[in-house]
Amino acid sequence: MNALIRSELRKLCTTRWFPITVAVTMLVGPVGAFANIFAGSTETKSTLGTNLTIRHILSTSAMTTLVALAIGISMAASEYRHGTSIPTFLITPKRRSVIITKVVTSAGIGALIGGAAFAITVAVAAPALARQGVHHLTGDVPQMLVGAIVTGALYGVVGVALGAITRSTVIAIVGALGWAFVVEANLLAVALPNIGKWLPTGANLAITRTGNFAAMLTPSIALVVLSAWSAVATSLAIRITSTRDA
């Protein structure tokens, strides 16, 4: 397993898009936080220090989970796009092992990206807020950090599953974004909120504490829900990959 994980990491590190994507992700959160603090998005210092505003300033999970999802999708789907799936499965005939390796690797990368992006954002936002008279961050910050790490990992898992199932980076990314932003965030959130909170995006918002608390699951239940979705997607990806041609 360790050798396979190292192989997956080498594949990622030898691509141009991966380090660029990670670097941009590390920058977007701090830049966004700095802009929200100083660009007049909040009207008064008292408003700037509220829990809701601090959560908005520090909320990087929406971005990092999508990045983790895209990385996971690319890790699986690019094998078919570049024609490397055949040698990969020849070297490791047990296709289940290949998918599990990609899942573990993507989960680790997603967790690191989520945690690092959030930590950098806090490091930039804290002194900037202090200059505006806000010297204490809200109690939600530890929850948001853990949430960013956990959702980054789980969305990385889901990304690998989608990439393996569709075998197309474009189809998987477009389908995932369409589901998250059109179906979940707009249709179900308005028409059937009691169903929407049990879906991946609803669980993500509950874990990271970045949504409407009154309409969300508790973080612990949301973690179980999102983990279950990840497990189902992974099981389906293993089954499909193991029963079709490379």
Q: Is 98 within 8 Å of 89 (Cβ atoms)?
A: yes
pLDDT band at 5 (very low <50, low <70, confident <90, very high): confident
Q: Going by C-beta distance under 8 Å and a sequence separation of 6 or more, which residues neighbour residue 136?
A: 49
Tell me the C-alpha distance between 152 and 184, whole Å. Answer: 19
Confidence (pLDDT) at 76: 92
Tokens, residue 44? 């008064």
Q: Which of 44-53, 99-108, 175-184, 202-211 has the highest mean pLDDT?
A: 99-108
pTM of the full structure: 0.89
Q: Would you mind telling me the total number of residues written for the chain in this entry?
A: 246
Q: What pLDDT does residue 166 have? A: 94
In angstroms, the CA 64 to CA 70 distance is 10
Average per-residue pLDDT for the chain: 86
Beta strands in the chain (DSSP E): none
> What's the confidence (pLDDT) of residue 45?
55
Distance CA 2, CA 180 (A): 33
Is pLDDT of 40 > 60? Answer: no
Question: How far is residue 170's CA from residue 98's CA, in Å, rounded to a whole number?
Answer: 21
Poorest-confidence range of 41-55, 90-104, 177-191, 198-212? 41-55
106-152 tens-digit pLDDT: 999 999 999 999 999 999 988 988 888 787 787 688 888 999 999 99
User: pLDDT value at position 103?
Assistant: 96
Most confident range, picked from 54-58, 198-202, 226-230? 226-230
pLDDT for the residue 211: 65
Place of tokens 């397993």: 1
What is the per-residue pLDDT across 161-186, written as a single tens digit (0 to 9) for each? 999 999 999 999 999 999 888 888 77
Task: Give the E-state strand segments of 56-142 in sequence order.
Answer: none
pLDDT bin (cut points 50, 70, 90) of residue 213 is: low
Average pLDDT of the segment spanning 51-80: 87
The amino acid sitting at 44 is: T
